[in-house]
Every structure is written in C-alpha cells, then in structure tokens.
Structure 1
C-alpha cells in the first residue's frame, strides 16, 4: 500500500512540474503577444509620424521651391531695373571743344561717346552685370554762364552751345544736360542731391562721378573713402586736374579717364584772366533754393573798394615775357631747395603771399590756405617756384601778369616722363629765351 502511495505522489509531483512548465510557457507566450502588440502599435505610430513628417518635408520643400522661384523672379525683375548713373558737374568737367563746336551734332555725338565709354568701363569692371545695366547720364551746369564763357573765349557762339545742349538731350533718351541755374552753387546742390539719391537706390549698381575741380566734392566723397562696399560702387571720372582735396582721396576710388569726351583742362576766360569754374574753400552745406538765390551780380566800384580787392582783370601785358614764337616764358628764379621743400609742405596761399590779395578770402570771406606766415624775398622766390608746379590753364597764350602757375614743365630739363606728367604736352620743350 505504501508503494502505491509513493508512486502516486511521484506522479503528482511530475504533473505539478509539467503543469508549472506549461504555465511558464503560457505566460511567456502571452508576454510575447503583448510585446508584439506593443511593438505593432509603436510601429503604426512611427509610420503615421513618418508620413506626417514626409508631408511636412514635402510641403516645406514645395514652399522653399516656390520662394526660390519668387526670389529668382525678383532678382530678374531687379536686374531688369538695375542702372548705372553718371552724374557730372558740367561747370567743372567741360566736354572737348571739338565736340561742343559741332552744335547739335556734337551734342548727339558726345552723348553717344560718353555712353559708349561708360559701357566699356562697366564691361571691364563688372562683366557679369554690364549687359543688362542701363546707363543714366545727368549733367548739371550753369548753361548761360558756360555759353558766355565759350563766347568770350572765342571758342564758339552762345547759340552754338545752346545747340550742343539740345543735341546732347536729343542724342539719347537717358542722357540729360540740365540747366541748374546761375547761382554760384546751383549745380553743386543738384549734383550732391542726385549722387545721394543714386547711392541710396538699391537698383543703382555704379555711380560714375565727374567733378574733378571742385574741392567741395571732397565732403561728398570723403565719408565713403573708407567704406569698401560703398566706394566699390563709385568711380571717379578724370578730366581737368583734381582739386587738392579731391587729389588727396582719389586713390581710394577707382578712377577712369574718358579722354575722347572731356577736356583735360578747365575753361579759362583769357579776357577776364580767370577760369569759368573756380574751386571754392570748404563751405557749409546749402540747399538748392538758397544756392539759386545767390545769383552773382556785378559789384559796384565802391563795394569793391570796401572789400579791399580788385577785379581779376588782365593788366597791360607789358609784364609778361614771351619767346620769339610769342609763347609765354616764365623768368628764372633763384631759391634754395630747402626753402622750396619747407614752403611746399606749409600749404601757403600763393596769391596772398606773392600778390598781396586772395580771391577766396575777398569773395567767400575765408581761405583754406595759410595767410599767417611772414616770408622773406628769397622765400617768396621759392614759393613762386612751388606755385609753378601747377600748370596754367591758359597755357602758352596766357597774358595775365599776375598768373602764378607754370607755363613750362619744371621737370622738363631733368627728364620728365610726359605721358605721366600733369603738364600737357604743349608745355614741354618750350623755348625759354625771352625776346620781350
């Protein structure tokens, strides 16, 4: 009986063991199915999230492509409106005499030559943009004053100059020769305003500026001389020699010569002994209305006497030496090189120290050069040599006994390189032997 019980207990223990293993298997399988359900749910959620992200990416890509197309369209539209402006002070930068003399046809030819020269400059400096950039040309000048000067110089009649201006305006739809009025600073104010307008205009790719003989434009250009991004848009046109303050900063900018368009020297009225365009000292900014109000008038003898100045008219030519060909000759000077170098560095007013008068001080009430130094006779000879470093605009025909400028290149005898000299070719190899 005991054997049977023991066997039964053994069988029962085996059954319990098998049942326990089955329970463990069942539990494991249940856990597996639960985990599979969880992973399936996670996978489904991941698929939904991925699909949503794909939808967002596609939407973002579509919007990005749309924006890129819009930007490209705007760039094309902007490029279509891009322009280069040429702003010229016509009083400071006169066109070549041979063009102006042709009247209407000369004006048309000048507009064409100027735009051609500008286009060549744009092609050489910005070849990728030059083909679609329009060129706008504005010339501001005292038209009546210029016409009178040309007439008094016996270059051409006032009517011919009027024809030239009309031809320039007819020559190209984007070329304008504008009469700024006959106030002293009317053209300056117009030039300044148009320059600032172009500089602030996002469509303006380049500004070609012509106003070499006016120190006042140093205040316009100076603030941009150290700004690489801005000065890269500005090109200075070469014509008559740069005024002193402009010469100091011109190397900061790109400069180009348009020799076939502009005069290389200022207009000088031989009958009055002065250039049509006079470089003024620094003055406070003015608006156009106040500039236009400053129309020059002929001073009465009493007012001239009160200012202690005399009009810059040419005196009897008895004080002018000429060679056998009738060309002006500068008399030789005796001075020390040390005095020459010292005085050159002082920026003295040549007219005040050598002639006892100063046009700028008498006319504008101030002069940017030094009036305070006291010079000996020997030093004055050295200062006269300094003054002769600047070529006379009237050249060899000058008959003004008060003229302090040079009528022959001072380096002529020491091997001057004419192609790089500020003196024109005709002021080289001049016979310096006076006959009267």
Structure 2
C-alpha cells in the first residue's frame, strides 16, 4: 500500500505566524501546503502513486494561545482557534488535536501512533515532525532497530534539528515557510526592559492580512541531513518587534474594582473586528500607574488570560505589550473576582485553569461575608 502517516508535535513544530494570522483561511492554506509538498516529495523520490496521506498534529492549544499573547503576538492568539478549525476542515484525514496541558501529552500521543502506524504493512512512510525534541530519539532508534528505518522521513520545523535526532542519519524533508524556524521564547539572561511609556507610546500598525495573503508559492521540498546544533532562542527585542498587533476583546465588570468583569462568552469575533484590531497601534503600560485597572483604558483580563469574544466592541484594551509582572498582577486581581459560572451555581468548563476565583480566598474570615456582601455567592 501507499499509506503515508505524518505525525507532528505541534507544541514545537509551530506553523508560521503568517498562516496563523489568517485564521481559518490560514489553516486551510497550511494543510494545502503540507499536502502538496509531501506528495511532490514522495513522487520525486519514489514515483507517482495514489498516496493516501494522513496527518495528525497534537498540541496544547491553551498553552500555545497564552504563549502567543505573552510574546506580543495578540493577532496569533486571537486567530489560533480559527486556524485549527481551518486545518481540520481541509480534508477528512487531517486532524489538529488539543491534548491539553498535561506534561508531555503530545509526546505520548505521537510515540503511540509512531509505534502502531509504522508496523502496519499498508504504511508506506511515516513522516515524523518532532525533530526539535531529543526526547523522541529512543523511540525512533527502536523503530530503526526493528527494521523500519526505510519507512521513516523526518519533517524539519526548526532550522536546526535536535542533535540526537540528527545523528540518526534519517532522510529529512523541509517545507519552506510552513513552520516558525526557531523556538518561541525569550532568553532568560539580561532581557532588556521595555521602552518607557513616554518614549514608546505608539507602535506602527502593520496590515497583517494583506501581507499574509502575499505568501510565496510552495517551494520545492528539500532532502537534507543537517549538522546537529541546538535551536536558537528569539531575543526579547525581536519578540516585541513582532508585526502582529493586539485584537480588541472584553473583560469583566470594571465596577468590581479591577479591569475584569463578566464576559458571558459572546459571539465569535467578526471579521470586521479583526480588521479594526489590526488598524490599532500597540501600547505600553504606564510605569507610573501601580494598578493596571487604572490605566486608560485598562487591559482586558479575558483577552490576556483566557479568551475574550467581544471583538472590536470591547471597552477594554487588547493592544498592550505586557511583561511577566503585569501578567502576575492581572492573574492576582482576576482571582479576587468570582467566576460567573460558579456564582450562578453552574460547573465552570475551565476548571482549575479558570482565571477567576471559585471561592473567596478569605473563606470564613471574610469581612464582607459577615455583612452579607461577599461577591462569592456560588454554593451559598
């Protein structure tokens, strides 16, 4: 048979920012680029056949979404879910699955699929998209020892493979402009501070969709065996210089004393809101204001910590560039606000990951509870 299975660790092999920025359309395009490039590569190397292509991408959706927001790419954060939808709608055999935030959840899924699929007689090739992670070396080596080396092709995401995987001497496939070329993140040493409020109040907006629609045609995949080196980290200055701008979305109720209010999880963000958001400029928190909720306008808690769906109509801001201490302050303030679902006596779908409080932190010692004024009324 000519069954071809592609396994991608989506927590490390992350699709390009240009594609994610386009939302659903970008997901469809990513699936098309992946399919066309794999079929083209197989046809050139092994002849033209009726290749049956299966693609499984495993990732932690919530973790990646928060990472995009943390690294100053709010447009990616807002459009990521729609990107996943577009990818899944591309064809029946393509699936991008959220495995949650359990440690190495994506790894476990991929290792299981690798072992099962490579042993099937109808499987012609397994294209492995986890070359960034040395944790897969043992599993790949086991399959090579078992006699399945001729079935393996490595799909590169980062410019450089993990050293242990590169040493396996397996053929590799590179698809230009499909994945981000290096690890998302910020260097841990000597990260420069953000510019001051007075010197960097505005950041020029960029027409992201316009540029994203100018993606180059699919380049011919290349077969390479790169030298083993560690993938570089993006600098902090490079992160905040990202061309993607924050998209507006709502928060809680400002009358509660913070920039957090009940969202009611409104309708999905309309296309007009995306365009309006990209037309706005980024901004920095005023360093002279201690309480984030006092900035004008306050940053949207739901946008930065969860998912806000009010779009351009949100009265809170989505275009701030926040640092780690800002996120910590925002989380602390949000925990002081009761979860709307729990307060209504309903089960919170976010569970322990909810950004709001499920109970009063003061418990029975709450001063307002004795006065019958405690905001946490769930279960009472």
Normalising by structure 1, we get a TM-score of 0.44
Of Structure 1 and Structure 2, the greater helix share is in 1
Structure with greater Cα Rg: 1
Normalising by structure 2, we get a TM-score of 0.50
Q: Relative contact order (C-alpha < 8 Å, sep 6+): which is higher?
A: 2
